[in-house]
Structure 1
């Protein structure tokens, strides 16, 4: 399973995930089977950086296989038998 780090820029205020450790050489967001399988996992550690995010430094030119911009962060609470979408339970969110 590839592991990621959650970065936040103090300069442009953007958030992004970056592959920290590859589970296999060449794996990343596009090829690692653990991304997009619908199973909830522990959140990545948050690191605040002073510089700008990859999208501001190199618009459209950063490697999307190793870096993904975070568009929205939703804080929700879930009660149930497991953290994944398919597990029985109730999810609550403040709107």
Structure 2
């Protein structure tokens, strides 16, 4: 027959939970925890190599150029459509 094991938390877990609960109440300890976590995440950041950086820059420039062409084409098409539907509104300015 299997032995019944009590599901009681260990002393270290209880102590850590009490410490965490106390830390949640203190705003300064929460700020300190946040800053420690930020520093921990910043240590994981990897600087790209020169080749990777050049590749990333070229990809971004290509994407921006393509988007520029798409938006410019749409602007021209919409402009021509407005002129075709409403006529050239700039030519009918009132005489001053």
Whose radius of gyration is greater, 1 or 2?
Answer: 2
If each structure's strand is expressed as a fraction of its own residues, which one has the higher value?
Answer: 1
Q: Same fold (TM over 0.5)?
A: no
TM bin, normalised by shorter chain, reads under 0.3
> When the two structures are superposed, what TM-score results if normalisation uses the length of structure 1?
0.19
> When the two structures are superposed, what TM-score results if normalisation uses the length of structure 2?
0.18
If each structure's helix is expressed as a fraction of its own residues, which one has the higher value?
Answer: 2
